[in-house]
Amino acid sequence: MAFEPGPFAVNVTDVVARRLGRMPALYESDFLLGLSIFGSRLAALLTTGSPTPFHRRDTAAQDAFLDRWLTSRIAALRTIAQSVRRLVLFCYYSTPEAHAGVGYHGPLHDRTPAVPWEGAAPGTPSDDEPIARVANPLAGPPAAALHRLIAPADTLPTSTDVLIVGSGAGGSVAAARLAEAGYQVTILEEGPLVQGDAFDEQEATSTERLYADQGLRASRDQAIALFQGGAVGGGTTVNWLIMLRTPDHVLNEWAARHGVTGMSSAEMRPVFEQIEREVHARVVPDDAHSPNNRLVLDGAAKLGWRAHSATINAKGCVRSGFCGVGCRYDAKQGALMVWLPRALAAGATLVADAAVEKLELVADGTAMPRKRVTVRRRDPLTGRFTSTQIIDARLVILAAGAIGTPLILQRSRLGGGGVGKYLRLHPTTAVSACYDREMYGAGGIPLSSICDEFSQSDPNGYGFWLENPPMHPALASVALPGNGAEHRGIMESFRRIGTIIALTRDGADRDLSNGSVTPRGDMGSDIRYALGPADATHVAEGIIAAARLHFANGATEALTLHTHPMRIRGESDFAKVRSASMAANDISIFSAHVNGTARMGTNADTSGVNPDGERHGTPGLYVFDGSFLPTALGVNPQETIMAVTSVLVERFTSRFRPS
């Protein structure tokens, strides 16, 4: 992909080469293979009739070449082309030259707020709000001193009562509650510990450090990008703060279809209330929204749709806009600020940079065999997992997420049944519009409003909902549609772009296993996913609803994320959206809600764990993370995972006593 000289000029080849050199080995080999095929003389000959390879063509010819691969009916060619496109765009729009070209202000901590929706909001401070009304001393120049909120152990103990694998919304809550109940708890986290002003608000480096697989995780065909936390705190470190309770109709479905009892609306209400107190969940006040979030609130009001300000787990939020790359202001009340400090204060041990390879059941003549867990430690110099250690545990709780947990089970020969199946993603796409006013989606609270008018569009309680994402240039460039000059034209409007995301509650086709997770290579994953027919319909209707919100706010044109973006200008274009292809790599879809794969249920053939979270047939082995969800939720999952984990921990403690 070429970039003409001008305000965006940069040698993107060098940037891409450096990025390739930092990739995990499996991803590097995949990307290099794709690049070699794409850049070969044979590929050029078959694509254009001329053997002149891609890199020797002029800009217009390169754009045409790439476009032919992006729109090919051969799925493998679309996969390679999308991989090349996304890699180049992400690398390019991570550079200072590109930032200057699109008017990106960059990190908040070394400058003053540039727009009114950044920084502390005016008014009188109140503990009943999640935002700062006076300047946060950790915000603004000069940079704050490094905060040591939690401290991991350097060495791995040889044994423990309870071993928790993962430190996100499930693992950290379980660790805090069990340690406070007197259990000897050890927490293993595959990712590094990053905290305080080590969160540097640099999009490219932060994505590599804080996300699973350095932010490269995707379905095997590259059709769906998956954003999961990959550092201490898991998804709670990088999510967008929103707290939403599990809807009643979802809880009812769990009971009726999966045999999950003890989690009715009435039974869960006090659990949700407790969680919300513990993480300081508060409603975003009306004067604290960014223009991007006002699109949902104001548009829905004009259309007569249900929408409301979000509840977020924050205290003293300075509206930096960098929630997705970690909060350096100690405002986000997730694992790093709440649950892990509580766990460590109660005697738990946290070990970072420790990946679980597998576990073995060691027969000892009891009904509950001990577990011998093989752990790989990361070499701080190379960043690779090299040395191996063993830890012995009576009880193991897998909380490695809906990709990591089924992989550990399968590598341990404890798969089967529903393990690795029924992957649910809340498949998400976006609709953008260019406004005649400043929107600057990189600043402010990323997600502070929600429209749930269509969350139960079908009789079974499935549908979609509408929210707003943060818009930083590297990830925005990958998501925004188009190629070549068309894409550049969109990016040149970066500060005036408003974006609405439509998230679908997948699984509307009921027990269709849309996706799966299986091991690949050495510690790698093979992730497969395809939209079911009903889910695809909901994705299309979500696009249309997002476009309607844009029009209600005065936009005259809305762009979809199809490979060739559909330019929607009114009702007459909606039929085209409904008939457009939703096939892999014909439209950009992403997900930050990766669930399922070891779901709770009474049927061992179609679930991974029983309704208490225990692996079928394996006493003392539990799953406490998003993989235990019996269905997709139709809401952002953070609060549900924390609440369900709390219920399961209570059952756990009633069965096992601390040593």
Domain boundaries, the chain: 12-92, 159-282+317-421+597-655, 428-591
CA atoms within 13 A on the CB side of 106: 15
Choose between 385 and 297: higher pLDDT: 297
CATH 3.50.50.60, applies to 159-282+317-421+597-655: yes
Say if residue 210's pLDDT is above 80. Answer: yes
Number of residues written out for the chain: 659
What percentage of the chain reaches a pLDDT higher than 90?
A: 86
Q: Report whether 496 contacts 490 (CB < 8 A).
A: no
Q: What is the mean pLDDT of residues 144-157?
A: 71
Q: What share of the chain is helix, strand, coil (3-state, %, to 5)?
A: 35, 20, 45
Which tens digit of pLDDT belongs to each residue from 453-468? 999 999 999 999 999 9
pLDDT in the model for residue 2: 37
pLDDT in the model for residue 148: 57
Tokens linked to 325: 């790359």
- Please return the burial class of 231, using the count of CB atoms within 10 Å of its CB with bins 0-12, 13-18 and 19+: buried
Say if residue 518's pLDDT is above 90. Answer: yes
Amino acid making up residue 308:
H
Q: Report whether 6 contacts 504 (CB < 8 A).
A: no
pLDDT in the model for residue 7: 45
pLDDT in the model for residue 432: 97
Which tens digit of pLDDT belongs to each residue from 502-512? 999 999 998 78
Say if residue 6's pLDDT is above 50. Answer: no
Query: Which run of H or of E encompasses 281?
Result: strand 281-283
pLDDT in the model for residue 142: 40
Q: What is the mean pLDDT of residues 316-337?
A: 96
Query: Tokens 């549900």 sit at which residue?
Result: 640
Distance (Å, rounded) from C-alpha 503 to C-alpha 516?
20
